[in-house]
Structure 1
């Protein structure tokens, strides 16, 4: 009996030591048992797998990592260094990593193993691949509104093809994030993602940046010449942001490259083949520009093979809760601070606000709040002056609105208590579904018991407000 108790104490001590160490490691780490079940993790691993700690700890190694041989190595109980694996994130995207296995022993028996993951060192000569990589996938496009859901479905469908895409949307909506996500989900994902902002480069330099130049092409040209973005993007994706700002004389040359899939450097005579997928983006009204002869109609049709539209934030305000929650946690982690709660007045203002800067503006405001708010409740006085100046009902009192701490996307319009309750339940069911499991999650999110939820639904059904 004493031996069993001693064994339990040893195991408990081991787990405490592991938990303390995990918080100090800056790379993804999993602690697994002999069967490959995850029993501990760290914050870095949660970000890499894009899963919550609870979700990760309900998984086994074969569900999270390829190849399956990794589990056999864990069970053998031998230290392993730099074993190549593929981490499978929540979106199903594979990421190459190197895995180090450190077995954990209790009384000379392998009980668990610590798996540490590091990104592989790129070989010499792959500077292009190191420079032109992506950071975003479809899981980074946040929101569950119908418009965003439909957009992600469409984009994922076309990601597998090589067809040219034109992304439309206002500034700050995340056009490059979408372009990177498409590249990351395509068969070109291992190739470079090269971006060029047509509005950020002077006209005199834009041509050489895009198509490159030969040695001696002009005064100041580099010895040996320089490849353009088309050449740098070979085997990958070229993202042309703010295509509406490209001058007309370059539009004609771009059209020819898109048709022929070949480029000629400035000052050169050689026609260079380029295997590139082109994704263009703009916030401008290209049709109006065509009517004013400011944009070539033939180029428009060549670019607009697959049109995608990102709606502005004001048209998908049901996504506000999730976005605020994400950015609040992001900046709290980055700045080493606690997350904040928004008062009902602040939520009301957020839902009434026009958001001319879209997601970028929301992100900046949340970063401002996390930096400057001392307490845990964000009131109207905590907001930037630009947002606060147009606030309505400034004399109203700010009160915590506890329902907003639940993960439901709801509209905080002022309603009667009975109407509010009915509305919150209806929105929660829309989010989680009406299955038994969906109702359980809805009840948990609303902070009520499952029995209470069923009683409310029975009452609403009798009153014919909405079905069970």
Structure 2
């Protein structure tokens, strides 16, 4: 080969390399370009991120310094293509990562000039990562309680879980709306798919649209190369949980309504219509009916969401579940922290039953964790409770003094609920003595106890039978 031919070949190689460099800038997977001997001549930004090294450091180094494989170098030198070649890459911090390599040989005039290495995580690993990120932690067994309201709610969930219809979960903050949503997903035909949640109140309004629907490259300043899928796309084949839907801005409500009607989305900055296969579960603690009246929530969206309405009652409306919940969280935190279960004095339990629980289940869980962490002994007294719960009037201070003189206790994890029923009866009797036993008195007593009038009558009937 004369000098002219050599120069022509060199120019062709340079031209090929420039074309490759331009193409690689559009690829989001890590890519390495090597010469015929296996020395790196180019990388893209994704490769720099995954190897945790700059392009300057990697270029000129042999590929085997970064990518380990028994047969990789042989494929490169022989100019053989490869698909799904198992390799192990080493990051700058020494982390070993399993990847699948697709190798495309570079040929100039039938001569091997190098290869392009496309690195992707094996599909199984991708599915595992997706499952761990968008999986569920809770099932219906985590909805604790045996009260009529909770029993009825669980029965409703069992009936509607396998449906494809949209669900709207109402309830105060801390009542466990997401636990219920995850339970529905677990029991549905979509339980093998992802459970993707987004809190509409926690994401700034300017970002919420792109988080939900995704965006195309160049849609706005700072947009990621290649664009980004939104939660609707990530939830494909599974469930999308729209938490705090009442905080969604009106202009996005209109876009969401269209998606619910057509089951298709468009990314921000895009023109392509993308079909989405998801089940929608929405939740809110807000009064949507009042918001509709004040033009803060779209009535047509409300009816689209409220196909299957579910209501999670606040803790003050199901105080008969308190002891079961305390048992559950006491066991959970004692096991986690390696401690023995505590016993509750009757006065401490009375205090807990008297409390109105504005933070609902979340507040109760925090209380039990607080007790397990800070209580040294095995007896939980009024003084062991958090300050917000133990604030005392003169009468309550007297109860505490009596408790210290005569520590009547209720054991944790009892064989029967006799003693907790006894405490409950005392509370009911005290309320009736204060407000009277006529219909109006019973109504006031039920209100003071934080239960419905029907629940009070049911408990009075049980008390009669026990006597």
**TM-score band w.r.t. shorter chain:** 0.5 to 0.7
Aligned to 1:410: 421
Post-superposition Cα deviations, 1:161-220, rounded to whole Å, max 9, x if no partner, equal 010000000000000000000000000000000000000000000000000000000000
> Could you list the runs of 5+ residues in structure 2 that have no partner in the other structure?
1-121, 431-462
CA pair 465-410 structure 1, distance change in 2 beyond 3 A: closer
Is structure 2 residue 178 aligned with structure 1 residue 170?
Answer: no
- What is the CA-CA distance between 1:125 and the residue it aligns to? 2.3
Judged with a 3 Å threshold, the aligned counterparts in structure 2 of structure 1 residues 407 and 179 are, in CA distance, closer, same or farther, namely: farther
Q: Which moved more, 1:299-308 or 1:130-139?
A: 130-139
- 1:353 pairs with one of 349, 352, 355: 355
Give 1:400's aligned residue. Answer: 408
Cα drift, residue 371 of structure 1: 0.4
Q: Which residue of the other structure, out of 264, 283, 286, is the alignment partner of 1:284?
A: 286
Deviation readout 1:314-344 (Å, 9 max, x if unpaired): 0001111110011111111111111101111
Deviates more, 1:281-290 or 1:402-411: 402-411
Aligned to 1:59: none
Distance in 2 of aligned mates of 1:285 and 1:415:
36
Per the TM alignment, residue 385 of structure 1 is displaced from its structure 2 partner at its CA by: 1.1
Q: Which residue does 1:386 correspond to in 2?
A: 388
Q: Does 1:218 align with 2:229?
A: no
Aligned to 1:190: 192
| 1:156, distance to aligned residue in structure 2 (A) | 1.1
Q: Are the aligned partners of 2:216 and 2:228 in contact in 1 as well (CA < 8 Å)?
A: yes
Q: In the aligned structure 1, how far is the partner of 2:177 from the partner of 2:148?
A: 18
- 2:203 equivalent to 1:201: yes
Distance 2:257 2:387 in 1: 46
Partner residue in 2 for 1:125? 126
Normalised to the residue count of structure 2, the TM-score between the two structures is 0.62
Compute the displacement of 1:379 (Å). 0.5
Task: Map 1:352-371; keep pairs closer than 5 Å.
Answer: 352-371=354-373
Q: Which residues in structure 2 correspond to 1:117-156 (within 5 Å)?
A: 123-126=124-127, 127-156=129-158
Which residue does 1:236 correspond to in 2? 238
Q: Aligned partners of 1:209, 1:295: CA distance in 2, in Å?
A: 20
Distance 1:318 1:273, change over 3 A: same
After superposition, residues 88-99 of structure 1 pair within 5 angstroms as: none
Q: TM-score, normalised by structure 1?
A: 0.62
TM-aligned CA distance change 1:206 to 1:467, over 3 Å: closer
Which segments of structure 1 move beyond 6 Å, counting only runs of 4 or more?
none
2:335 is equivalent to residue 333 of structure 1: yes
With 124-133 and 370-379 compared, the bigger mean Cα shift is at: 124-133
CA–CA separation in structure 2 for the residues paired with 1:122 and 1:328: 41
- In the TM superposition, what is the alpha-carbon distance from 1:410 to its structure 2 partner? 2.8
CA distance in 2, matches of 1:158, 1:317: 26
Cα deviation for residue 401 of structure 1 reads 3.0
Q: Which has the larger radius of gyration?
A: 2
Aligned length in residues? 303
Q: Encode CA deviations 1:403-456: one digit per residue, 9 max, x unaligned.
A: 77344263614649x99xxxxxxxxxxxxxxxxxxxxxxxxxxxxxxxxxxxxx
Cα distance in 1 between the residues matched to 2:218 and 2:234: 20
Deviation at 1:155, TM superposition (A): 0.8
User: In structure 2, how many angstroms separate the alpha carbons of the residues matched to 1:241 and 1:348?
Assistant: 34
Aligned with 2:283: secondary structure?
Answer: strand
How far 1:394 moved relative to its partner?
Answer: 1.6
Across the aligned residues of Structure 1 and Structure 2, the Cα RMSD in angstroms comes to 2.3
- Over 3 Å counting, the alpha-carbon distance change for 1:122 and 1:342 in structure 2 is farther
**Native 8 Å contact 2:214 2:268 kept in 1:** yes
Identify which of 271, 274, 287 aligns with 1:272. 274
Change beyond 3 A, Cα 1:415–1:224: closer
1:343 to 333, 345, 355: 345
